[in-house]
Amino acid sequence: MPPERPIGIDLGTTFSAVAWVDEAGRTAMIRNAEGDLLTPSVVLFSDEETAVGKEARTATTVHPDLVAEWVKRDMGQPYYVRPIRGQNVPPEVIQSCILRKLKLDALNALGQCNRVVITVPAYFDEPRRKATADAAELAGLKLLDIVNEPTAAALAFGESLGYLSSDATAKHEMTLFVYDLGGGTFDATLLRLAPGDIRTIATDGDVQLGGHDWDLRLAEFVADRIHKAHGVDPREDAATMNRVLTAVIDAKHTLSVRRRAVVRVDVGGRVIELPVTRDQFQELTADLLERTAFTTRQLLAAAKMRWKDVSRLLLVGGSTRMPMVVNMLRQLSGLEPDHTVNPDEAVARGAALYAAYLMHKEAHGGQHAELTITNVNSHSLGIEGIHPETLRKTNVVLIPRNTPLPAKVTQRFATKAESQRSIVIQIMEGESSLPSECTAIGRTVIRNLPEGLPKNWPVEVTFEYGANGRLTVRAMVPGTGQSAVLDLERAVNKSRHETTPAAPHKTAAVSPAAAMAAAARADEFKSMVHEALEGLSSVDLEEMKSAADTIWAENVDAEASPPPPDGGDAASVLDAPADRGRKKSERAK
């Protein structure tokens, strides 16, 4: 029986791609049903059906109100930016429709498709990562893990240079700077690549900056020109503005190879032609490019490195094809940007390599692993405390950003009042000292403290952040026997994956029965989404998740969801005065 073949999915803002590791151990891209390597990350909720990809993308100019796109930008938010068919839809539901299509395409190509690795920008925070894991669950995919896009790109690069092969020992260690400018996000990451070993040094980025912003700038410019010259403002009609947007994307791509392009757009039945030059485009978007340059410089400074310490500057993401990006990086670094790996495919290929590695590790019980991947946390993790002098709420960081994972930190706090009976531990993610500027990602409460406990009684808080993205927070009040533990985890690497018996292997040849069964389940899922959008039922994420659990029963093992966070009106902990505060930090082994 052939081994189970996992796939790697690059779930992009504009395009998604799928890869696997073939029988020869090399990565290969999987074409979708339309025969393309890239699937537009667009979903059409028409009267009849829910369509994903090219078909949905074509509909954007006709039915913009029925189409959801750039959904990745809204991950972590309760709802997609605008209602669809009058319904507020959680972004993960839309993303799951995309993942469904990718799964079906992989199934058609490989005859089986079960376990996946999905990539996310390194700069994604916890709620966005969790939403991605939820989307996979909704789509009936078994998530092996979520991996950072630059790590995946570095893996693909490592593969192309032979760093992952068995005779890689002769290769030198090198430092990579991955500049990843996609359609919706920007990531800058420094990594160390050694044979069978990828180590993230530091990462920074912007989850609201990508090629789409370049498109919007050009679209505004074109709309303005049309308005001035012809007295019609395309911005007043969504369908016309979508045609402008489609036309400027074509022009943008042309400007990557030519100095001049013509934007052709149908406005009210009249085709208007507007020339644009590369210089104009560059001028219009100079501040966007500068934002990436700023982050690039900042990252290098954060890692206390200089360009001379960087061996290769890797370009990832379709937007790095813009000459302005290459020129800026050349100037900034003095290095020649590296195009060794295809910027559209690197992330999916790397995800496939990581998936294959995880399956190998699972099969061999962690023995004989040929690959070590060390990540850092992209955002600081801490708790909300009260400043002892100002008495203002403050975000006390326990694990600063760019700490190699796994990491374990213990810090001592103190109660803020006499006879305090309970303590809230509010867990925060973010860099600011103001809790309002950070994201609350969980909370736990210590209750039933003994009466008469003096003010400033010590409270020990320990953060343990595993390499698998699981954060465990332990808080205890010495001498009282009271403590609390909170396990914050994404839906990945749950113990259920470790205890689930391996699924029966299917044949590697395309199995029509499997494809048909999956298609039927996909239809069931689509009609569920469709019904919700028709207003027949409300779009409730938890409800949909449990319905999806039933639909994909053979793929998703039922597991009770964790109880909601403990409520209560308990008092916050008080940050300890400096002389009593104690912070232990260690690399957990």
Structure tokens at 333: 């670094």
Q: For residues 108 and 119, which CB has a smaller minimum distance to Mg ion in the complex?
A: 119
Output the smallest distance, CB 318 to Mg ion, in A: 8
Cβ-based neighbours of 371, under 8 Å, separated by 6 or more = 164, 196, 197, 198, 357
Q: Does residue 574 contact residue 456 with C-beta atoms inside 8 Å?
A: yes
Choose from Mg ion, ligand ATP, none: what does 72 bind? Cβ within 5-8 Å by kind: ligand ATP
CA 311, 317, 318, 319 dihedral sign is negative
Q: Does residue 118 contact residue 530 with C-beta atoms inside 8 Å?
A: no
Would you count residue 182 as binding Mg ion (CB under 5 A)?
yes
Choose from ligand ATP, Mg ion, none: what does 382 bind? Cβ within 5-8 Å by kind: none
DSSP-assigned states of every residue in 470-504 = -EEEEEEETTTTEEEEEEE--SSS-HHHHHSPPPP
Residue in the structure block whose two tokens are 């001379």: 308
Output the smallest distance, CB 70 to ligand ATP, in A: 9
Q: In degrees to the nearest 10, what's the CA dihedral of 328, 331, 337, 343?
A: 0
Choose from ligand ATP, Mg ion, none: what does 64 bind? Cβ within 5-8 Å by kind: none
Q: For residues 124 and 413, which CB has a smaller minimum distance to ligand ATP in the complex?
A: 124
Q: For residues 87 and 292, which CB has a smaller minimum distance to ligand ATP in the complex?
A: 292
Chain residue at closest Cβ approach to Mg ion: 182
- How far is it, in rounded angstroms, from Cα 232 to Cα 244? 13
Choose from Mg ion, ligand ATP, none: what does 344 bind? Cβ within 5-8 Å by kind: ligand ATP
Q: Could you say which residues in the range 480-519 bind Mg ion, by CB under 5 A?
A: none
Number of amino acids touching Mg ion (CB under 5 A): 2
Output the smallest distance, CB 270 to ligand ATP, in A: 26
Backbone angles phi, psi at 144, to 5 degrees: -75, -45
Eight-state DSSP code of residue 258: S
- Binding pattern to Mg ion, positions 2-41, x when CB under 5 A? ----------x-----------------------------
Pairing of strands 458-465, 197-206: unpaired
Q: For residues 316 and 556, which CB has a smaller minimum distance to Mg ion in the complex?
A: 316
Output the smallest distance, CB 212 to ligand ATP, in A: 6
Choose from Mg ion, ligand ATP, none: what does 322 bind? Cβ within 5-8 Å by kind: ligand ATP
How many CA atoms are closer than 13 Å to the CA of 200, on its beta-carbon side?
A: 31
Output the smallest distance, CB 125 to Mg ion, in A: 17
Cβ-based neighbours of 124, under 8 Å, separated by 6 or more = 75, 76, 132, 207, 378
Choose from Mg ion, ligand ATP, none: what does 333 bind? Cβ within 5-8 Å by kind: none
Output the smallest distance, CB 180 to Mg ion, in A: 7
Output the smallest distance, CB 45 to Mg ion, in A: 24
The letter for the amino acid at 303 is A
Q: For residues 91 and 182, which CB has a smaller minimum distance to ligand ATP in the complex?
A: 182
Q: For residues 140 and 182, which CB has a smaller minimum distance to Mg ion in the complex?
A: 182
- Closest listed residue to residue 449, CA positions, set 481, 412, 417: 481
Stretch that binds Mg ion, among 97-105, 179-187, 354-362, 491-499 (CB under 5 A): 179-187
Q: For residues 256 and 555, which CB has a smaller minimum distance to ligand ATP in the complex?
A: 256
Chain residues in the site for ligand ATP (CB under 6 A): 10, 12-15, 72, 182-185, 210-212, 249, 252-253, 256, 317-319, 321-322, 344
CA-based radius of gyration for the chain: 25
Choose from ligand ATP, Mg ion, none: what does 205 bind? Cβ within 5-8 Å by kind: none
Eight-state DSSP code of residue 87: B
Choose from ligand ATP, Mg ion, none: what does 247 bind? Cβ within 5-8 Å by kind: none
User: Quick one: 86 exposed, middle or buried, by C-beta within 10 A (0-12, 13-18, 19+)?
Assistant: exposed
CA 471 to chain centre: 17
Would you count residue 150 as binding Mg ion (CB under 5 A)?
no
Q: For residues 182 and 234, which CB has a smaller minimum distance to Mg ion in the complex?
A: 182
User: Quick one: 270 exposed, middle or buried, by C-beta within 10 A (0-12, 13-18, 19+)?
Assistant: exposed
Question: 434: helix, coil or strand?
Answer: coil
Choose from Mg ion, ligand ATP, none: what does 199 bind? Cβ within 5-8 Å by kind: none
Output the smallest distance, CB 13 to ligand ATP, in A: 3
Output the smallest distance, CB 442 to Mg ion, in A: 28
Output the smallest distance, CB 250 to ligand ATP, in A: 9
Q: For residues 95 and 426, which CB has a smaller minimum distance to ligand ATP in the complex?
A: 95
What are the CA-CA distances from residue 183 to residues 32, 455, 459 (Å)? 20, 53, 45
Output the smallest distance, CB 424 to Mg ion, in A: 38
Q: For residues 50 and 320, which CB has a smaller minimum distance to ligand ATP in the complex?
A: 320
CA 88, 93, 97, 99 dihedral sign is positive
Q: For residues 217 and 416, which CB has a smaller minimum distance to ligand ATP in the complex?
A: 217
Residue ranges in contact with Mg ion by CB under 5 A:
12, 182
